[in-house]
Chains A and B, each alone.
Chain A
């Protein structure tokens, strides 16, 4: 599965033609009003991207189409679980698509915990500022991602979208695994700094 790096560079538009708040309204309306028109807006924007994601994970075009449809069915069914205080719509949809991909293409499961729940252990020695209070600001994050050097983004994209392990990323880009990891660390340090968090 060798891909030229140029294939990994997405088109420059992001969230083109759709404000983040609009997506929240649509998904909320799907949950509350079973709003078919709002759902179709979500479909128009996300289904072709989820299909693209599935193809990068190794699905052929027709299975990717089918997986994108199934992702959308799950979005309809699970919409009431979406909480705009906890995550952006794109984050929530990414997780639905990712978990479906792991189940269908990798055929195993991914264990997860509720990320926004307060720690049940009060003796963890951490201050309140280290607890998760609100979701990462999607617009700010988009802008920050745009400022990351390409060499860092290439590594991050390969991991996310080709589903590659770090040693596979290392092989594909012909850089040592230590360099793969340090580029990921640099990218996340910069994102966290930009999001105004202490590292």
Chain B
């Protein structure tokens, strides 16, 4: 898998700082599972966080702080803390997504959104005023031109699409903010299945698209 499109440095920084929605973190984690380059960038951003933590002006702990810690350690039974392992990828779907798509892509209860576009909303993922959803888009479909009130991250799982900024295939991540408008067109050969997180509502431009907005509800 040759990945050509990656999240912006500013997005990686926000992720490392913990300043993104859970939905954004899910899409970024899914991309990083596939992308060693971005795992590297994330490790650097975390290291910057560690350095900046060391630089912070210390605020004295309360007098009994350390005693409290020892009594908490002694009172609460020492349970072995295991780090939850990321499940294995299934059917080309990154492992971090499998808890949300337990049956794989094949048997997802897709709902038709508009002709050519089906969606599945991932439940229970904190996303601010936005959402996380899978879209399955039929070959050759053009998505109405739209901009975003906040940010939008799109990870291509299968198939490909193209817009003004290039071609996006499996593993590629499109990182768009409210300054970018785009009109994606899906390749003619196969449907494009992608994972999209927004942290605010999309804003469609054009009269027909604006009429679609209430129907689409993205």
Instruction: Please name the 7 residue pairs, one residue from A and one from B, whose CB atoms are nearest each other, closest first.
Output: A48-B58, A91-B50, A90-B50, A108-B126, A125-B2, A111-B29, A181-B10
B residues 164-186 near A (Cβ < 8 Å) are 171, 177-179
CA distance A197 to B79 in the complex (A): 40
Are A87 and B59 closer than 8 Å at their CB atoms? no
* Known contacts A14-B55, A116-B43; A87 and B10 CB within 8 A of each other: no
Q: A69-B65, A197-B40 are in contact. List 12 more A-B contacts (CB 8 A).
A: A10-B52, A53-B56, A62-B62, A76-B69, A77-B81, A78-B83, A88-B50, A91-B47, A130-B36, A136-B47, A160-B48, A163-B18
Interchain residue pairs with CB less than 8 A apart (5)? A51-B59, A73-B72, A87-B50, A166-B14, A166-B177
Are B66 and A132 closer than 8 Å at their CB atoms? no
B73 in complex: contacting residue of A52, A73, A180, CB < 8 Å:
A73
Are B43 and A135 closer than 8 Å at their CB atoms? yes
CA distance A73 to B150 in the complex (A): 37
How many residue pairs, one in A and one in B, have C-beta atoms under 8 Å apart? 244
CA distance A25 to B51 in the complex (A): 18
Q: Is the interface of A mostly helix, strand, loop or mixed?
A: helix
Kindly provide the distance from the CB of B20 to the nearest chain A CB, expressed in whole angstroms.
8
Are B44 and A47 closer than 8 Å at their CB atoms? no
Query: Interface digits, A26-49 against B, CB 8 Å rule (1 contact, 0 not)?
Result: 000000000010001001001111
Is B107 positioned at the interface, with any CB of A under 8 Å from its CB? no
Is B162 positioned at the interface, with any CB of A under 8 Å from its CB? no
| Chain B residue, CB-CB nearest to A95 | B46
Are A55 and B19 closer than 8 Å at their CB atoms? no
CA distance A131 to B38 in the complex (A): 10
| Chain A residue, CB-CB nearest to B34 | A121
CA distance A62 to B64 in the complex (A): 12
Are B47 and A141 closer than 8 Å at their CB atoms? yes
Are B55 and A195 closer than 8 Å at their CB atoms? no
Are B53 and A94 closer than 8 Å at their CB atoms? yes
CA distance A113 to B34 in the complex (A): 10
* Known contacts A110-B22, A114-B86, A159-B17; A43 and B66 CB within 8 A of each other: yes
